[in-house]
Chain A
Amino acid sequence: MNETTGSTATTGSRATRVLGLACLVGLGILGVFAFGISPEDARIEEVSGETVGQGDLVRIMYVHVPMAILSYAFLSLCAVGSAMVLWRRSRWWDHVAHGAGEIGTLFCGITLVTGMIWGRPTWGTWWEWGDVRLVTTLVLFLLFVGYLSLRRVPGDPELVARRAAVVALLGVLMIPIVNRSVEWWENRTLHQQSTLTEMRIEDWTLFTLMLGFLVFTLVGAWMLVHRFRVAWLEGELERSGLDAAISERRAEALSGVEAAIARPGGGAGPAREVP
């Protein structure tokens, strides 16, 4: 195996270092807005005059909501890559699909856990099986855990990629169901209906939420680039191993031929004994 050492032996490049730095700075600024500048959620009901809202728990939303939306985005990208795998048999798109699938599943898992943590003080329960949004999100998460598990099955990489692509294309059909579930089954959910698309939040809360989207999008992009490069290296390593094995086999065959030629008798091999 060809060993290369030195400071450049990473998946990093100048562009990813700049992007990584932007992510760290962005996360710092997001922290300042989420915990310092953004106020607690407290509104006065027009009819009753009572103060309502999530209070300080709204600060969890700055992680939870971007993670949810970005999990949809990355899992959709996984499906696009999977479609390209089936259509073009593209290795490049297969790496994109795999990386996006992994990151989307991670973000979906974070969405579930942060949602549970938010739900405990708000609804008084960690989990509610009757809530369609929770259950459909869990199904989406498990479908893509299945996708990632399928990718680890040993076998012909092209065949594994095609099978996984089919699972991803089926799994992504869950996204509109998860997203619309609170409207389709509005009596079977503890979740509120969309506040973002109807702009029912405003000022610093809205700004911090948008900042969260921007920062976590950058973080996701940075992760995807590195994950893609890891997949690329795995492919290169596999191919270079295959090349080495082929060269070794050729050298063996060649040395066998040369030895046969060098033998007395001109390479026809040992004379057979006639009984």
Chain B
Amino acid sequence: MNDVAYIVGAWVVGLGAIGIYSVRTLARGRSLSRMVPEHRRRWLTSDTDAAA
């Protein structure tokens, strides 16, 4: 394969940027979730219903 450094570099930049953004978003969500009461996190309604 020719130009391996360019090809790998482009994929690393693309997936790396998406990965960093995703990890930061998840971490921010995790820290905020701890401060907000569970009943205000509406997406957990289905989990609660399933457990009930």
Contacts and interface: CB of A to CB of B under 8 A. Distances in A.
Given A11-B43, A233-B33, A233-B41, A60 B6 contact: yes
B52 to A, nearest CB: 14
Given A57-B3, A106-B21, A114-B10, A14 B46 contact: yes
Contacts, number: 132
Interface residues of B, number: 36
A240 B1 CA distance: 57
A113 interface: yes
Contacts of A219: 18
Interface string A1-33: 111110011111111100000000001000000
Contacts of A102: 21
A229 B29 contact: yes
A67 interface: yes
A110 B34 contact: no
Nearest to B40: A236
Contacts of B6: 57, 60, 117-118, 120-121
Contact of A230 (B15, B29, B38, B47): B29
Given A106-B17, A117-B9, A226-B29, A55 B2 contact: yes
B10 A60 contact: yes
Tell me the dominant secondary structure on chain A's binding face. helix
Interface residues of A, number: 49
B18 to A, nearest CB: 6
B13 A113 contact: yes
A13 B43 contact: yes
B20 to A, nearest CB: 9
A64 interface: yes
A98 interface: no
B28 A114 contact: no
A34 B11 CA distance: 10
Contact of B34 (A4, A40, A56): A4
Contact of A114 (B13, B32, B37, B43): B13
Interface string B8-32: 0111011101100110011011101
A118 to B, nearest CB: 7
B18 A110 contact: yes
Given A56-B7, A110-B13, A113-B10, 6 more contacts: A57-B3, A59-B7, A63-B15, A223-B18, A226-B26, A237-B36
29 contacts: A2-B36, A4-B38, A5-B34, A10-B29, A11-B25, A11-B26, A12-B29, A13-B47, A56-B1, A63-B15, A64-B10, A67-B14, A102-B21, A110-B14, A113-B10, A113-B17, A114-B14, A117-B9, A121-B3, A121-B6, A223-B21, A223-B22, A227-B25, A230-B28, A233-B35, A236-B40, A236-B41, A240-B36, A240-B37
Interface of A: 1-5, 8-16, 27, 34, 40, 55-57, 59-60, 63-64, 67, 102-103, 106, 109-110, 113-114, 117-118, 120-121, 219, 222-223, 226-227, 229-230, 232-234, 236-237, 240
